[in-house]
A and B are shown apart, each in its own frame.
Chain A
Amino acid sequence: MKPLQKVAASILFAIFVSMALATFLLPVPYARQFRDTPNASPSTAHPLGTDGLGRDSLSRLLYGTRVSLLLAPAAAFLSTLIAAFLGSVAGLLGGWFERIVLAASDLSLALPWLFLLLVVRAMLPLDVPPLVSVVIAFLMMGLLGWQTSVRVICAAARGVRDSDFLLLARSTGCKPARLVWRHVAPNLRPLFYAQFFISIPLFILTEANLSILGLGVMEPMPSWGNLMRGFEDLSTLSANPWRLVPLILLVIVVMCFQLVLPTQEATQ
């Protein structure tokens, strides 16, 4: 690991630890309103000030970080699970199943991802409790974000299918379940991990875009995207530049992920 990658990994570790400890670090509950002090500047009581509704910005940032940083890996886990299953089966079986999976992946890749998410979001109710909106966002991203990974995993599984060690295992009478568990899965596991970690920054950005557009995590629950919705009001932003902290944190996290992780091209 290069020194820069070590620094990025340390930053990510620190952010994830503060996210895990958010409950203990929260000065006040994220939804509590201080109606006498809306749009307050940073002070000892409110280190990052308050928002337009008088809610403590630091509490909202800490809780929003937790929501975004739990949502993205959860969605990445689901999408990698789907990609791992479809890609491995398609690569190992080949034939018409592989063709169908690859055609579905091509079709999804040709379509801008946000359009697909909007179609699915339009089918679901918008007026839902905040926690349900988090689950919907997580499921949408997880269920629709497997296309790129499935191609990479399928190609790797095809390579394993044609390998000598699998031929040897087959010729010794190894049963299909054992074949997959003992020979195929260990060879594809590093690829699954890579695809999982590569998907995380993508889902962080998608959640931010959806929430800014009012289609992701719903108020009053905070997320990085939700916290950035106020950026539209330039006058408030120029008067309270500390409101940019969620964006700065998001950029730092995504950049750190980019530094630490291999690129999609490298995994191919």
Chain B
Amino acid sequence: MSETKTSTKLLRLGLRRLLVLLCLALVGALLSATLVRFAPGNSASERELDPRWRADSVEALRQQQALHQGLPSFYFHYLAALAHGDLGQSESLRRPVGELLRQRLPVTGNSVVGGLGVAWLAAALLASLGIACRGWFFEASTTAFNSLLLSLPSAVVAMLAVHLRTPVFCAIAVVVFPRLYGYIRNLLVRSYDQPHVLAARARGLGSSAIFLRHVLPLAAPPLLALLGVSFAISFGAAIPIEALCDSPGLGQLAWQAALSRDLPLIVNVTLIVALVMLAANSLGDLAGRTFSGQPQ
């Protein structure tokens, strides 16, 4: 009975999150539309500036364009196009934004997933090793190494990756690793210091049993939430890394768009990334709550 109640609450929470995500998508789309609408030079098309066109033809052209209609009409046209997957045209690359996203998203997706996999594995292994052998030397050396990595700008890591000819996902892993390691280590230390874990140790339980039965249930929910956050960190790191490593992903696209002040492109790329991040965060949070069985 209690399990049914919990799953109903979790389902409600999931639906609420989905509704919030849809509302945020709508707000984000309206914000994007506003930025695109008021982008400098966005209300003029090249044909309008062509001296061979007559004044009445230019006026007719303006009438055809949604950009020259009122703001509500522009929003309606923008959202209708968005619903059909039309994200507009990139001004600098002269290609549809949707097509660019379809090409670039898998490249960044692969780099991010690979980087996250390596970073999580390394951070979890090192944190577990730190718990297994708690000594001042290990702690001091890992803290110093972690601090050094945290002090390096992502762009410098990218340049190092270019010089060493390492894949992009390795550079992303180097940027994400120190942020994960510090959190995972603190979480494990706190979990192992809990009274019930000490009691289990006193009862003579094996280390694997203590980890699986007592530590993991405690540490899993925040770790799952961290998984969502780590996606945002790695997407953020992808901008300088892809830009400097010449990897044709979303990060490079965003950088090129910012340099050429291509507002429709950068705004739509950011909107898509924001939605992916929000979905990842919500999924991570929901997974954590499901694991802990605490929907509220």
Task: Please list the residues of chain A having a beta carbon within 8 angstroms of any beta carbon in chain B.
Answer: 107, 109-116, 118-119, 121-123, 125-126, 201, 205, 208-209, 212-215, 225, 228, 231-232, 234, 247, 250-251, 254-255, 258-259, 263, 265
Contact partners of A115 in chain B: CB under 8 A: 235-236, 239, 254, 269-270, 273-274
B24 CB-CB contact with A under 8 Å: yes
B150, B155, B236, B274: the one contacting A213 at CB < 8 Å is: B155
The verdict on B129 contacting chain A, using a C-beta distance below 8 Å, is no
For residue B156, which residues in chain A have a CB less than 8 angstroms away from its CB? 208, 212, 228, 231, 247
Residues on the A chain within 8 Å of B259, using CB = 126, 214-215
> Is the C-beta of B286 less than 8 angstroms from some C-beta in chain A?
no
Chain A residues whose C-beta falls within 8 Å of the C-beta of B35 in the assembled complex: 119, 123
In-complex Cβ contact of B232 among A110, A123, A250 (8 A):
A110
Instruction: Point out the residue from A118, A125, A208, A214 that lies within 8 Å of B153, measured CB to CB.
Output: A208
Main secondary structure of the interface of B (DSSP, over half): helix
Q: Is the CB of B236 within 8 A of A232?
A: no
Q: Is the CB of B153 within 8 A of A116?
A: no
B5 within 8 A of partner (CB):
no
B153 touches A225 (CB 8 A): yes
Contact indicator per residue, chain B 230-261, by CB within 8 Å of chain A (1) or not (0) = 00110110011001100000000011011101
Task: List residues of B whose CB falls within 8 A of some A CB.
Answer: 24, 35, 39-40, 147-148, 150-156, 159, 162-163, 182-183, 186, 232-233, 235-236, 239-240, 243-244, 254-255, 257-259, 261-263, 266-267, 269-270, 273-274, 277-278, 281
Name the contact of A209 in the complex, choosing from B24, B153, B281 (C-beta under 8 A): B153
B147 and A258 contact, CB distance less than 8 A: yes
Query: CB-nearest residue of chain B relative to A112?
Result: B236
Q: Given A213-B155, A225-B153, A265-B186, answer yes or no on A255-B239 (Cβ-Cβ < 8 Å).
A: no
Report whether A111 and B232 are in contact in the complex, using a CB–CB cutoff of 8 Å: yes
Tell me the dominant secondary structure on chain A's binding face: helix
User: Which residue from A110, A113, A114 sits with its C-beta under 8 Å from B240?
Assistant: A114
- On whether A232 and B159 interact (CB within 8 A), knowing A115-B239, A122-B258, A215-B259, the answer reads yes
CA–CA, A258 and B148, complex, Å:
10
What CA separation (Å) do A123 and B183 show in the bound complex? 36
Q: Which of B163, B183, B255 is in CB contact (< 8 Å) with A118?
A: B255
Neighbour of B266 across the interface among A112, A119, A247, CB < 8 A:
A119
Do A112 and B155 touch (CB < 8 A)? no
Q: What's the Cα separation between A231 and B156 when bound, in Å?
A: 8
14 pairs, CB–CB < 8 Å, chain A vs chain B = A110-B232, A111-B232, A111-B274, A113-B236, A115-B273, A118-B270, A122-B262, A123-B35, A123-B261, A214-B259, A225-B155, A231-B156, A250-B153, A258-B151
Report yes or no: A110 in contact with B243, Cβ–Cβ below 8 A: no
**Contacts A111-B274, A112-B235, A209-B240 supplied; 5 other A-B pairs, CB < 8 Å:** A119-B35, A126-B259, A212-B159, A254-B151, A258-B150
Which residue from chain B places its CB closest to the CB of A234 in the assembled complex? B163
Contact A118/B258 with A205-B153, A228-B156, A255-B147 known, Cβ cut-off 8 Å: yes
Whether B278 contacts A123 by the Cβ 8 Å rule is no
Contacts A115-B239, A254-B150; A123 near B263 (Cβ below 8 A): yes
How long is the Cα–Cα vector from A119 to B28 in the complex, in angstroms?
13
Residues in B whose Cβ lies below 8 Å from that of A215: 258-259
Shortest beta-carbon contacts, A-B, top 8: A112-B236, A254-B151, A212-B155, A118-B258, A208-B153, A251-B151, A110-B277, A122-B258
Name the one of B147, B151, B162, B255 contacting A232, with C-beta atoms under 8 angstroms: B162
A109 touching B151, Cβ below 8 Å: no
- The answer to whether A122 touches B266, judged by C-beta atoms less than 8 angstroms apart, is yes
Residues of B within 8 A of A255 (CB): 147-148, 151
Complex: A257 Cα to B159 Cα, angstroms: 24
Bound-complex Cα distance A121 to B153 (A):
19
Check A232 against B153 for contact (C-beta < 8 Å): no
